[in-house]
Structure formats: structure tokens, C-alpha cells
Amino acid sequence: MLYLVGFLLVTVCLLVLGVNVWVLIDHLLTTDVPPSIPHPLKFRMLHYCFLLTTTWGSILEKMNICSMPQFSRFVQDRLTSKENLGVFVKDLYFGTIPVRLFCPKAPSPKPRRGILFFHGGGAIIGSLDTHHNLCTFLARETDSVLVSVGYRKLPYYHHPALYHDCINASIHFLKSLKAYGIDPSRVVICGESIGGAAAVVVIQTVLNRTDIPKIRAQVLIYPILQTFYFQSPSHLVNKNIPFLTKDFMMTCICKYLAIDLSWKDAMLAGACISPSAWKKYEKWLSPDNIPKRFRTSYQPPESPAPFNEAAYLETKHAMNTDISPLIADDKIIAQLPETFLVSLHWDIIRDDSLLYKKRLEDQGVPVTWHHVEDGFHGCLVLFDKKHFSFPCCLNIMNAVVSYIKDL
């Protein structure tokens, strides 16, 4: 009996060691560390831990123990601490949607600004807890009442659950501003990554409603704004840069949109875009719309991939504007509020922000653009991690705070 226990223990240890070494080798062989990223060793170490978490999550998923998203969120939440310095915090429900209210403790002589915040994470990671300290900082430093929305995620909820939750929570909040002491003329919607997409979709959805106040501004922090064109410069040049590599990005997109991963290569090659669709969207998505300095090392594909009708039929919902709001009609874009847009140089979806910036400006929407040369996707999750944070984290938050305070 003891021999059997010992044998099993050794087997488990060898399995764990083997997986960890394999992940390390894969990281060293496939991951690019940009030259302008400070603390490259820390950057590699954090990405290795991230890969370990998602890899073990995938193993547990194959063993039917728990899903990769559940395991990843479990680990992430265990590494999260919460501070409420200078802010009153309360967990609430808007209907069935969990939200967290952040209100500065200092008295205010007049109604405060309101902020709706949607966190990122690709519907796989991220939660009210992981972004708690960030929201505390944002509410305190801008003297605003902030509501963070805990929308539904994978593995049990796919599109459009996230957007339904964000839209419904936003409408509830906008109808209740008086109860929270908020000035209805100063409401800002803020989103990070997929939360940035949610922010844009919410605003586009409620544009013409007369029963709720108009949104004063949208603050979009490295938003993902389209999920079907993957041949822009940043998608090709930054494909192996953490934390949103090409493989993890496609895993997030396919899982959330309930697209089988077998269509991943066709999506990346552009074979899912019909000639008629590309003719319509090329004027907005063409790399020619991106400033030249972001195309210096870009080698465009030699020729378009042949159209694959089967792949198109499986993935065409990725072109819906509630998933890819970048391709909304001009008449919608022209009505959007002024925008603060954060882009990161080493981000695979950097060009979504650059293309959206041009679309907004072409339609006369005021845009304040903040580009971070040493930024990488997902960096805001490290904002409150002290020794594991990076200069770009505070850079972004200070820029966002400064913009919101000036509204």
C-alpha cells in the first residue's frame, strides 16, 4: 500500500514538473519581450505564471474537474487584496447583476460625477475583486461615484450575456442617479479591453433614448473593438507579446462567441470575410488608415486568403456591431460623446484604437488620445500589485484621472 502511494506521489510530482518545464520552454521559445518594456525579467516571470495558470486550467478542464476560466479566476482572485482608502464601498445588485458601488467619504457641496466601469479579461478572467483597488483609486482621485459591473462570463455564459448585463446595469444606474447624488450631466462610461467594447456598445445602444441622461464622455482603455479582421499591423507584429498573445486572444474570442477553435486559422487568414463585406468595411479597417510610424515593420499579406463560405457561416456573427462596434454606421459614430482613448504600443489590438480614433475624428467627435510606448495589454490588472506593477500602469491611471477631472 505504501509502495503504491509512493509511486502515485512520484508520478504526480513528475507530471507537475514536466508540465511546468514544458510551459517554461514554450514561453522562452515563443514569447517576445519588447525592448521598451522595463524590467524584462519580471515581465517574463509574470507571463510564465500566467501561462502556467491557463495551462493547468486547460488540463483540469480536459479532466472534467473544472473549466479553464473558473480555475484562472480562482487563482487570480486568491492573489487579490482589497483596499478602501478614502472610499465607501458597497456590494449591490441591479436586478440580478452584481455591482460594486464606490463613493468618496469626503462630503461634497454639490452632486458628484458618475462613472460606470466595465473591467477587462476577455470574459475569461477579471472580476469585481481584481479591479477593486483600481476602482477605489479612480473614484477617490476624481471625486466621483463609481459603479463597477460584475457581468456574466465564461464558461457558462457566452455572447450576448456580457453586453446584456452591461446595458441593463447602465440603464438602471442612469435612471437612479439622484439616489446616488450624481449630476446627470456628468456621467462617464469607462471600460478596459473587452470592457471597452462593452462601453462603446452601451453608448451606441442608448444613444437615442430620451428616458435617461446623455453620456458625457467615454473612456476607452486599450479596447477590443472588432473580432474578425486580424491582419492589421499590430495583429501581425505584436502576435507573440504578452499578455494578450495571438493564441490567447483567439481562445477568448472563439470561446466567448461559441465558435469552434477549428476555425481559428481561417479567421486569422481573413478567409471568413466575404468579398462584399470587405468592400464595405475596408474603408474603415484598411491599414492605410493607421499612421505610418505604426507600420514601419509591418509586412502586409501577399494576397487575400480565398473566401471560405463555411467559415463565414460559422463566424459571421463576429461582424455584428454589438461585438464589433468599430464598424457601426457613420450616423451612429457621429452621435457619440467625446472620447478619451488609450492605446498601447505593444498591444496586439493596438490598431483597433487607432482605427476607431480616425473614425471618430472623421465624424467630428472630439478625441483625446493617450498612447503608451511601454504599454502591454492587460497591464492595468497589475496597477495595485506594488513590486509587480509597471510604470505604464500608473501612467494610464494618472492620464485617465486627469481627463475625467477636467470634464
The pLDDT confidence band at residue 9, using thresholds 50, 70 and 90, is confident
Angle CA 271–276–282, to nearest 5:
80
Report the distance separating Cα 36 and Cα 393, nearest Å: 14
The pLDDT confidence band at residue 5, using thresholds 50, 70 and 90, is low
Residue 2, pLDDT > 80, answer no
Closest CA to 221 of 98, 73, 379: 379
Q: Phi first, then psi: what are they for 104, rounded to 5°?
A: -55, 140
The pLDDT confidence band at residue 137, using thresholds 50, 70 and 90, is very high
What is the reported pTM? 0.96
- Residues 253, 259: contact at Cβ < 8 Å? yes
Cell numbers of 336, please?
457619440
For residue 399, count CB atoms less than 10 angstroms from its CB and return exposed for 0-12, middle for 13-18, buried for 19 or more.
middle
What is the structure's pLDDT at 12?
73
If phi > 0 it is left, if psi is from -120 to 50 it is alpha, else beta; for residue 54 that is alpha
pLDDT tens digit sequence for 276-327: 999 999 999 999 999 999 998 787 776 568 999 999 999 999 999 999 999 9
What is the structure's pLDDT at 16?
83
Residue 17, pLDDT > 90, answer no
In sequence order, what are the residues at sequence separation of 6 or more whose Cβ sits closer than 8 angstroms to the Cβ of residue 67?
57, 60, 61, 154, 155
- Residues 365, 338: contact at Cβ < 8 Å? yes
Report the distance separating Cα 223 and Cα 407, nearest Å: 21
Would you list the domain boundaries of the chain? 2-78, 80-407
- pLDDT, mean of residues 92-118: 96
The SS3 of residue 240 is: coil
Query: What average pLDDT does the structure give for the chain?
Result: 94
Q: What is the 3-state secondary structure (H, E, C) of 313-369?
A: HHHHHHHCCCCCHHHCCHHHHCCCCEEEEEEECCCCCHHHHHHHHHHHHHCCCCEEE
* Active-site residue set: 193, 347, 377
Report the distance separating Cα 114 and Cα 338, nearest Å: 16
Q: What CATH number labels 80-407?
A: 3.40.50.1820
Closest CA to 234 of 394, 45, 377: 377
Residue 3, pLDDT > 90, answer no
What is the structure's pLDDT at 302?
62
Report the distance separating Cα 26 and Cα 261, nearest Å: 20
- pLDDT, mean of residues 94-123: 96
- For residue 324, list its beta bridge partners: none
The pLDDT confidence band at residue 249, using thresholds 50, 70 and 90, is very high
Residue 399, pLDDT > 70, answer yes
Closest CA to 267 of 236, 242, 230: 230
Least confident piece of the model among 6-10, 26-30, 281-285, 313-317: 6-10
What is the structure's pLDDT at 27?
92
